[in-house]
Structure 1
Amino acid sequence: MRIFNEFTFEAAHHLPHIFPDGHINTRLHGHSFRVRVTLEGKPDGKTGLISDLGTVKAAFDSAHEKLDHRYLNEVDGLETPTLENISMWLWRHFARSLSGLAQVGVYRDTCGEGCEYAGEYEIERKAA
Structure 2
Amino acid sequence: MAGKVDPHTGWIRDFSEIKAIFKPLYERLDHNYLNDIPGLENPTSENLAKWIWNELKPLLPELSAVRIHETCTSGCEYRGD
TM-score by length of 2: 0.90
Q: Distance in 1 between matches of 2:66 and 2:22?
A: 11
Q: Aligned runs of 1:19-98 on 2, under 5 Å? A: 39-98=1-60
Please list every run of 5 or more consecutive structure 1 residues that lacks an aligned counterpart in the other structure. Answer: 1-38, 121-128
* Aligned residues: CA RMSD: 1.2
SS in structure 2 opposite 1:78? coil
Query: Identity across aligned pairs (percent)?
Result: 42
Report the CA distance between 1:45 and its aligned residue: 2.2
Query: 2:76 corresponds to which letter in structure 1?
Result: C
Look at both structures and tell me which one has the larger radius of gyration over its CA atoms: 1
1:107 corresponds in structure 2 to: 69
Long gaps (5+) in structure 2: none
Shift of 1:97: 1.0
Secondary structure of the structure 1 residue equivalent to 2:65: strand
Query: Could you list the per-position Cα deviations for residues 44-65 of structure 1 after superposition, in whole angstroms to 9, with x for gaps in the alignment?
Result: 1232221111111112211111
The two structures have a TM-score, normalised by structure 1, of 0.59
Aligned residue for 2:47, secondary structure, equals helix
Q: Kindly tell me the number of residue pairs found equivalent between the two proteins.
A: 81
SS of equivalent residue, structure 1 residue 86: helix
d(CA) in 1 for partners of 2:16 and 2:54? Answer: 19
